[in-house]
Amino acid sequence: MLKSRQKRLQKFFIILLLSVAGISLVLFSLNSKLDLFYSPTEMLASELKLGSRIKLGGMVKIGSIRRVDTDIFFIVTDFESEVPVTFRGITPDLFKEDSGVVALGYYQNGSFIAEQIFAKHDENYMPPELMPVSKKNDS
């Protein structure tokens, strides 16, 4: 009877150990893919770890977009603080001044280095392809 109890106890601890290991791997994987969202004011006030990837969201400041070859320089603001952003690549079609933007990247040396740019639109946005269909339905 004692041997069967020890075997059940051993199986229980092995299952428990494997379960903890599996859950730990899942949580570690999810944590490494997690990108925190900050406004410019929140980002400047926080103490980010060097090399931590974040999402910076706000409005593109009017008159701040400069293009040099494939590099794009602009300022993201939340109307309290401003953060200069550098991006190399092609921006989305909706990217323009005085519109919402989310940049994924790293804050280094007083500037935000973006890997990706996501342009935001309001709830009234309609893709250009659907405009003629919408106008027909309105009349």
List the binding residues: 121, 125
Rounded to an integer, what distance in angstroms lies between the CA atom of residue 114 and that of residue 77?
A: 15
List the binding residues for heme: 121, 125
Backbone angles phi, psi at 110, to 5 degrees: 80, 5
Rounded to an integer, what distance in angstroms lies between the CA atom of residue 113 and that of residue 119?
A: 16
Token pair belonging to 28: 């570690």
